[in-house]
Amino acid sequence: CTSLLAVAIVLRFDGSLHHYQSSKGVVAASCAAAVLRNDDQCILALGGRSLSTDVPGLTSGEAEYGGLILGLDYISNAVQDQGSDALKIDELWRQEIASEDTRTASAPTLTIRGDCKTVIDHCQGFAVPRKLRPQYKKVIDLIGSIQRHVHEVLDKELQLSFEHVPREDNQLCDAMCKVITNRKREEMVSNIERGIAEAQAVAMSSTAKLPISVKKRRQFRQSAFTYPLDLVSRTDQIIISTQKRLELYKHLARAILESNDYVALRLLGEKLRSEFREMSLLFELDGLRKMELQEDAQRFERKHRHILRKYDSKLDFISAFAQSATAVPLYDDTSRAEGIMAQVNHDGCTLTKVWYEQISSGSVSIEA
């Protein structure tokens, strides 16, 4: 391993947060790291991880530190030949050095580059970590572990440096963060579509009837579609576009109409209210009528007559809306992010491995 450590290594890192539009919570978070050599000319490994959004007050600084820790942890395990990683140090950093005498060979260097000035300033000692002290301490511990191993193996000091780079110069890690966020989007949509199918199966096999009492019928909210309706309404526009959410609502509308679940029809109108006002009124009105709440329906129609009178055939509009669902791209940045990832494989880089951790538990590796 002595000759393998005497090479210039670059570690790039990045972190990403997507906040809810309507609240201070985080809807998606990820981090990424890339290990390179020869001044960014050769990609050795690229990795990323989805971060838990259940942590209260998760900040972009924590996400950025997550990427740095991910990369340092990978390097630490690689140089010490630890962990379950299939890559060994002799496969990862193989490079000849000019001299057979390691004492006259060039010193090993590790350059850490990121687009987060806060993290870089912490590591350079220009700023105090304060709230990010636990993450900073983890970084220092990992760097110390790498430095000790290099000293033991090469009898040389690791030349360590930190560089702040513009975001546009950190596209590889940025693309990996986007790919991970896209995985989360795919999982969300998959859960919603599965929920719609399950709810429709339950609704079509159900023999439940509406209460006879008008008062109880007015308060009746039980429906097999409650869960998928809540899932769609809770997805934020930051993570799933308005256009895609509308298509999911169309899938829901079609399943509800096919199931003759009039309670769900009314609930769908309520869920649509904040984003698609006119459509929500039509669904709520139709739900009230089909639940045989005629007085409520008349009051509702009078209250919103300035909007509802534009639609001559309300039922035809609802049916057309439900049947108009089409395939809408889940996200707009797919081609850019996936394109960068594809370019990694075809630019003559000696890519050894790409890995990412799935949104669910466990991890998966992609061998180049």
Q: What is the pTM of this model?
A: 0.71
Confidence of residue 95 (pLDDT cuts 50, 70, 90): very low
Query: What digits encode the pLDDT tens for the residues 291-307?
Result: 888 888 888 888 888 77
Structure-token match 């890559």, residue found: 87
Q: Which pLDDT tens digit goes with each residue over 107-126?
A: 778 999 999 999 999 999 99
Q: Are 45 and 34 in contact (CB under 8 A)?
A: yes
- Average pLDDT over the chain reads 76
The H helix count followed by the E strand count for the chain is: 15, 7
pLDDT at 124: 94
Q: What is the pLDDT of residues 174-222, one digit of tens each?
A: 888 888 888 888 888 889 999 999 999 999 988 778 888 888 888 888 8
Which of 97, 106, 100 is CA-nearest to residue 158? 106
Q: What angle do CA 175, 178, 182 make, to 5 degrees?
A: 140
Query: Which of the pair, 115 or 155, is modelled with greater confidence?
Result: 115
C-alpha to C-alpha distance for 336 and 345, rounded to whole angstroms: 15
- pLDDT at residue 56 above 60? yes
Question: What's the pLDDT band for 238 if we cut at 50, 70, 90?
Answer: low
Please give the structure tokens belonging to residue 213: 């009492």
Distance of alpha carbon 142 from the chain centroid: 26
Averaged over 258-287, what is the pLDDT?
Answer: 84
pLDDT of residue 13: 96
Helical (H) or strand (E) element with 48: strand 42-50
Question: Is the pLDDT confidence value at 164 over 60?
Answer: yes
Whether pLDDT at 57 is above 60: yes
Tell me the two tokens of residue 265.
């029809």
User: How far is Cα 163 from Cα 257, in angstroms, rounded to an integer?
Assistant: 58
Q: Which residue has the tokens 């890690």?
A: 173
Rounded distance between C-alpha atoms, residue 85 and residue 212, angstroms = 64
How many CA within 13 A on the CB side of residue 258? 17
- Identity of residue 104: T
Determine the pLDDT at residue 185: 81
| pLDDT for the residue numbered 277 | 79
pLDDT at position 337 is 52
Percentage of the chain lying above the pLDDT 90 cut: 22
Average pLDDT over residues 269-298: 83
